[in-house]
Amino acid sequence: MEQLFQRLDDLYHEMVDIRRHLHQNPELSFKEVKTPKFIAEYHRKLNHDVRMGVGGRGVVAKLYGAKPGPTIALRADFDALPIQEQNDVPYKSKIEGVMHACGHDGHTAELLVLAKVLNSLKDELAGTIVFIHQHAEEMQPGGAIAMIEDGCLEGVDVIFGAHLLAPLSYGTIGYHSGPFMSATDRFSITLQGKGGHGGLPHHTKDTVVSASQLVLNLQQIVSRRVAPLEAAVLSIGNFVAHNAFNVIADTAQIDGTVRTFSEDVQLLIKSEMERIIKGTCMAADIDADFKYFHGYPTVVNHETETCFLSDIAKDVIGVRHVLEIPPEMRGEDFAYYLQCVKGTFFYVGAGNGDEATSYPHHHPKFNIEEKAMLIAAKTFGKAVFAYSERYNQSTRLV
């Protein structure tokens, strides 16, 4: 393991170079062209078995160890977000209105350099390593489900995934067994009334007032209909009724998200939304078009693999804390992989500890502590060797 860690340390500069190159050249979900080519070419230079266009724009590369063993998948996503970067850094995005504001550039860089190091150690490697480079994590339906349908998990025994997390301090590994990240649904409500003069409201059917009332009414679902010990979120993210200052809008648009862990709670919220929308609009004599879109399912980590990961992470150089953290209402299409094979998804702290320069994910000034990539790569690498050893021991015992 010392050799693995040392080689990763020696190639840290390359990891940073790759991350900054990708950061300068971000591509949006389902529009990735140059990034998958870059990834595939990197693996080809290592003589890995490479397949492009997996599930659309994904890349899958395989490294075969010299010894028999399990097939272990490691996943990294590589899409960016429609955000104008505001960081003043030499590697600032060159693409107007597009930015790596979630750390996917770091995920790709750490996995590519780990692939190079594992390749150099393949004589000691047992089994097959599948590097899953996934497109379109940020936009539903996501790239994971299409890549799975296209065979990226064929023969895979276990899968590990990680996210560089800015709110978590550098040197920390965060894990959780069982339901970890919520299902991520979204909804859209269009209210159709009768617009008119702001001075003559009695001649209109006011969608602004009705939509405002609806926002308040919807908030009572979680507070009054969902059991207090159940986790649920209903948030409005968009409210549009654009018009002149003296005109009552003809239509109003409300968009938002629902986050749950339980399918029963998910169905309850959707049903209650339908009832409340119908009642609110009936009272105002306006029409409503309600659309509900089911997003990524809950990320449910497998207990054995999560315990394994948390155990081996303690011995990774650079890791100061290994913490079990509570479930969160973030979402991840890594959930689909875990529905097919056993595995776990964990966080790697990428916060720089400076509140003045620390911004949340999806913020135009988001950035990471780049040394966190090294910790992620080392944790993945240690998991590969430790899991292979444990797998082969259990096979011999049987």
* Catalytic-role residue among 79, 85, 185, 332: 79
Instruction: Give the pLDDT score at 358.
Output: 82
Confidence of residue 397 (pLDDT cuts 50, 70, 90): very low
Cα separation, 196 vs 199, whole angstroms: 9
Give the DSSP per-residue string, 359-370. --TT-TT----T
355, pLDDT greater than 70:
no
* Domains of the chain, residue spans: 2-180+298-397, 183-295
Interval 35-48: pLDDT, tens: 999 999 999 999 99
Instruction: Give the pLDDT score at 175.
Output: 98
Instruction: Give the pLDDT score at 63.
Output: 98
User: Has 9 been annotated as catalytic?
Assistant: no
396, pLDDT greater than 70:
no
Cα separation, 112 vs 118, whole angstroms: 10
Q: Which fold has domain 183-295?
A: Alpha-Beta Plaits (3.30.70)
Question: How many distinct helices (H) and strands (E) make up the chain?
Answer: 10, 16
Across residues 308-329, what is the average pLDDT?
97
User: Has 274 been annotated as catalytic?
Assistant: no
Instruction: Give the pLDDT score at 373.
Output: 98
Is 183-295 the same fold as 2-180+298-397?
no
Across the chain, mean pLDDT equals 96
If you search the block for the tokens 């062209």, which residue do you land on? 33
CATH classification number, 2-180+298-397, choose in 3.40.630.10, 3.30.56.10, 3.30.1370.60, 3.30.160.110: 3.40.630.10
Cα separation, 115 vs 110, whole angstroms: 9
* Catalytic-role residue among 27, 77, 85, 137: 137
Q: Which among 204, 221, 298 has a CA at the least distance from the CA of 256?
A: 221
Interval 51-87: pLDDT, tens: 999 999 999 999 999 999 999 999 999 999 999 999 9
Across residues 291-304, what is the average pLDDT?
97
